[in-house]
Chains A and B, each alone.
Chain A
């Protein structure tokens, strides 16, 4: 029982960066822009968040830096695809490669120029981002452990997911955004400022991805800088969007389920057969591939990708 509880808690930990990445990508896809650069934006956020934390010892500054870095990546993407109407696939891929490269580059640059052999977050910030016990609630047996003993990122992630859900489905701005993703020409003719809203949401999405990156560099790597800390999470996030059928609230559960696959190897009961650890490592990717196949087999008109996703919009197109 205790083992299982620990497993669930660990799944939430491992799933949180995926949650941010997935939410960010949902925002972008709802605006009609398939951004394959999540991996790159997360990497940029990972680097900026970590370095800002390292230099200022402030969690808030680190968060803002990660958000800004993710937004910067998204800005490159938005300028190219919205204004210059470049191919979304290629631009996103390039952003993924560029962002990862830039993040690793800056990481190594900081390492070479530092006096110590590794970059380690200072103590005040590691204290802030360690698990908080919510007074009163966290001491409730089981429930307290399961719900009220996480680091601030986890709560932030769930909050962002709920806010995104409300924004998309219950506000006028959300309605406008959905219309753009489905049919930008119709939205434009109805008087919605298509370009502006596309920019806002792509950038917002990038910022959210950036925070997910900060999670991987600051929490998963235990406060020590490591290259490639995002390590494919961004790609899984893109796939998770499909799994969550473009719904922010479903993304919460999707992320945690995938988080569980990520850490299964540490919790799977040691039975008479030993499963090689490489198998566990590839498990999330195998599951993602399976999910892709299964969702493609059952298609539905609603709960599917926004119709204009992947196609750039030009008002004077004839």
Chain B
């Protein structure tokens, strides 16, 4: 790094605007970052952080505005050019080729000659040790854990000699311990003169790692402040636009009885390994049982086996003394077990994207109508009611749900489940991708159901939310229950350790 860089901004954005169809994702954004600095880009989901950064990495091209790198105005029209300008981005959904190994992924797309595996391995080892990264060069990506994959992503960027590093929500999938490790690496890179932008919506992380914070709200840049001169409360206000308390309610319910009793549940993967192994827990009426764990620890299998979608190897799920294993999804729905499962693709499971609210409302109830034909009237009525009650924003109830925003889609899904008066509600990642307001609407909806005595299984990924919303937290690791702890008395660190395999026996005060 020469002296000239010290006086120039690593990146300077002026008047950047980007629209998608009728949605304005970024409007007239101005932003700067220096070398040797960590800038946090703070904002709610949907505020346009990722879009803005994707314009630096060449994924999107701005409609308007200019980008300067190291003092020179440039046009970045593809990722190749971004790399040429020394910009590397680590996307939230990793951009790795699963069937290739770490080495191949790292050199992929670089312009240098085909290196012999041994030379390449040395070269990668060199970079790794410089920044304290650990990686097995010949391990296939699909055999890697989330944090290993992230390491490969970082190496990919470093291998290309990037001086400007962008990380999109890098901590979302990591345990508290892994986050600490990542931050140590980032600090090291900063010392070596890199400019780092970290996208996040978590305030404690902003305070811990950044030098300055830029706050985005609804596509606009609200302010940029020095981290030392601000606090979490002020940042929240800037982010949401008004003073809010980020406290999640946790009503206490007195009379509880066991609704769902899961006994020794085991499920196998296709490759013969255990997806779930001897899972035992009781789900009670009027409680929210949170489920924590690194992505892919058996959450999906747990949900799907309770809903009757997955073949179970051993064990039982007792719903009011009746074993529901072996029953069809149909019969389970009739028992009042309602699963609102939101996989990564929100429209992948609970809703049909090309259909409107009306037809989506019928999904589970269309069989109730006698005869050969469908009757849309009741579900049209229900749709209109829900639209009013939950303030769902949609032109009309026939508009395809895929055209609705994430928060509204989620309301449609949860609204439908709740309307069927379930006694068990299973919900996975219900606030993924939602802004703070929508998230709180969802929490309120869940709490309302809890007060009505519904037993809720809540699969979450944000530990802060799990700790505040749940009554108890069950931690999964490699398909095994590492413990069920009281949410009021446990800590984030404790859960983090359990997520990576440390058992906490006897914490469950079940009986």
A contacting B, Cβ–Cβ less than 8 Å: yes
Q: Give A contacts to B, CB under 8 Å.
A: 171-172, 175-176, 178-179, 182-183, 185-193, 301-302, 307, 315-316, 318
Chain B residues within 8 Å of A187, by CB: 97, 108-109
Question: Which chain B residues border A182 with CB–CB below 8 Å?
Answer: 97-100
Q: A175–B82 Cα gap in the complex (Å)?
A: 21
The 9 closest A-B pairs by CB, nearest first: A190-B109, A186-B95, A191-B109, A191-B80, A189-B95, A192-B109, A190-B108, A182-B97, A191-B83
Tell me the complex Cα distance, A182–B100, Å: 9
Contact of A193 among B78, B97, B110 (CB under 8 A): B78
The reply to whether A179 and B59 form a contact with Cβ atoms under 8 Å apart is no
CA distance A183 to B89 in the complex (A): 17
Interface 0/1 of B67-84, CB less than 8 Å to A = 000000000001110110
Residues of B within 8 A of A318 (CB): 20
Q: How far is the CB of B18 from chain A (nearest CB, A)?
A: 9
- Which one of B59, B104, B142 lies within 8 Å of A175 (CB-CB)? B104
Decide if B156 is an interface residue (CB 8 Å cutoff).
yes
Nearest neighbor of B51 in chain A, beta-carbon distance: A318
Q: How far is the CA of A172 from the CA of B100 in the complex (A)?
A: 13
Q: Is B227 an interface residue (CB 8 A)?
A: no
Q: Would you call B96 and A192 a contact (CB within 8 A)?
A: no
Flag if A183 contacts B96 (CB, 8 Å). Answer: yes
The residues of B with any CB-CB pair to A shorter than 8 Å are 20, 57, 59-60, 78-80, 82-83, 89, 91, 94-100, 104-105, 107-110, 113-114, 142, 156, 160
Given A188-B79, A189-B91, A192-B109: A179 and B57 interface contact (C-beta under 8 Å): no
Known contacts A175-B108, A176-B109, A178-B100: A193-B95 contact under CB 8 Å: no
Which residues does chain A contribute within 8 Å of B80, judged by CB atoms?
191-193
Chain B positions within 8 Å of A175 at CB level: 100, 104, 107-108
* Residues B78 and A190 in contact, CB atoms below 8 Å apart: no
Q: CB-CB < 8 A to A188: which residues of B? A: 59, 78-79, 95
A123, chain B: closest CB distance, angstroms: 47
Q: Which residue of A171, A183, A187, A190 has the most chain B CB atoms within 10 A of its CB atom?
A: A190
A contact residues around B160 at 8 Å (CB):
191
Contact between A186 and B96, CB atoms less than 8 A apart:
yes
**Closest CB-CB distance, A31 to chain B, in whole Å?**
14
Cβ distance B135 to chain A, nearest Cβ, rounded Å: 17
Q: How far is the CA of A301 from the CA of B142 in the complex (A)?
A: 10
Q: Looking across the interface, which residue of chain B has its beta carbon closest to that of A182?
A: B97
On chain A, the residues within 8 Å of B91 by CB distance are 189
Closest A residue by C-beta to B160: A191
Q: List 25 A-B contacts (CB under 8 A).
A: A175-B100, A175-B104, A178-B97, A182-B97, A182-B98, A182-B100, A183-B95, A186-B96, A186-B108, A188-B78, A188-B79, A190-B95, A190-B109, A190-B110, A190-B156, A191-B79, A191-B82, A191-B160, A192-B108, A301-B142, A307-B98, A315-B60, A316-B20, A316-B59, A316-B60
State in angstroms the CA–CA spacing of A182 and B80 once bound together. Answer: 19
CB distance from B409 to the nearest CB of A (A): 14
Smallest Cβ distance from A113 to chain B, in angstroms?
49
Let me know if B114 and A171 touch, CB within 8 A: yes
Task: Give Cα A315–Cα B142 distance, bound, in whole angstroms.
Answer: 23
Given contacts A183-B98, A190-B156, A192-B109, 15 further A-B contacts (CB under 8 A): A172-B114, A176-B109, A179-B100, A179-B104, A179-B108, A186-B95, A186-B96, A186-B105, A189-B59, A189-B91, A191-B82, A191-B109, A193-B78, A302-B99, A316-B20
Chain B residues whose CB sits within 8 angstroms of the CB of A316 once the complex forms = 20, 59-60
Q: Report the nearest B residue to A183, measured CB to CB.
A: B97
Bound Cα distance A188, B57 (Å): 11
Instruction: Tell me, rounded to whole Å, the shortest Cβ–Cβ distance linking B138 to chain A.
Output: 15
Partner among A185, A191, A307, A315 whose Cβ is within 8 Å of the Cβ of B110 = A191
Q: Complex formed: what's the CA distance from A32 to B80 in Å?
A: 20
| Assembled-state Cα–Cα distance A179/B101 (Å) | 11
Q: Which residues of B contact A301 (CB under 8 A)?
A: 99, 142
CA distance A146 to B94 in the complex (A): 51
B104 contact set on A, CB distance < 8 A: 175, 179
Min CB distance, A264 to chain B, in Å?
37
Query: Does A315 lie within 8 Å of B100, measured CB to CB?
Result: no
A269 to B100, CA, bound (A): 49
Q: Which residue of B lies closest to A303 (CB)?
A: B99
A141–chain B nearest beta-carbon distance, Å: 43
Please, how many angstroms separate the alpha-carbon atoms of A171 and B110 in the complex?
Answer: 13
Tell me how far the C-beta of A38 lies from the nearest C-beta in chain B, rounded to whole angstroms. 25
- Could you tell me the distance between the alpha carbons of A187 and B96 in the complex, rounded to whole angstroms? 8
Closest-CB distance, B402 to chain A (whole angstroms): 12
- With a 10 A CB-CB cut-off, give which of A172, A302, A307 has the most chain B CB atoms: A172
Report Cα–Cα, A316/B50, bound state, in Å: 12
Q: Chain B residues with Cβ under 8 A from A179's Cβ?
A: 97, 100, 104, 108-109
| A301 CA / B97 CA spacing, docked (Å) | 13
Q: How far is the CA of A301 from the CA of B96 in the complex (A)?
A: 16
**Could you say which residues of chain B place their CB within 8 Å of the CB of A191?**
78-80, 82-83, 109-110, 160
Minimum Cβ distance to chain A for residue B404 (Å): 14
- B residues in contact with A185, CB < 8 Å: 95
Closest to A186 in B: B95
Nearest-neighbor residue (CB-CB) of B82 within chain A: A191
- Min distance, Cβ B161 to any Cβ of chain A, angstroms: 12
A189–B114 contact, CB under 8 A?
no
- CB contacts (< 8 Å) of A190 on chain B: these are 79, 95, 105, 108-110, 156
A9 to chain B, nearest CB (A): 38
Min CB distance A185 to B, Å, is 6
Could you tell me the distance in whole angstroms from the C-beta of A302 to the nearest C-beta in chain B?
6
**Interface pair A189/B97, CB less than 8 Å apart:** no
* Cα(A186)–Cα(B97), bound, Å: 6
Chain B residue nearest to A302 in the complex (CB): B99
Distance (Å) between the CB of B491 and the closest chain A CB? 36
Output the least CB separation between B143 and chain A (Å).
10
Which B residues lie within 8 Å of A307 (CB)? 98-99
Chain A: minimal CB distance from B96 (Å)? 6
- Interface contact A315-B97, CB-CB below 8 Å: no
Most buried by A among B60, B79, B107, B142: B79
Inter-subunit contact A176/B108 (CB<8 Å): yes
Shortest A267–chain B CB gap in Å is 41
* Residue of B89, B104, B109 with highest tally of chain A CB at under 10 A: B109
Tell me the minimal C-beta distance from B119 to chain A in angstroms: 14
Inter-chain CA distance A192–B81, complex, in Å, is 10
CB distance from B461 to the nearest CB of A (A): 20
CA distance A150 to B393 in the complex (A): 71
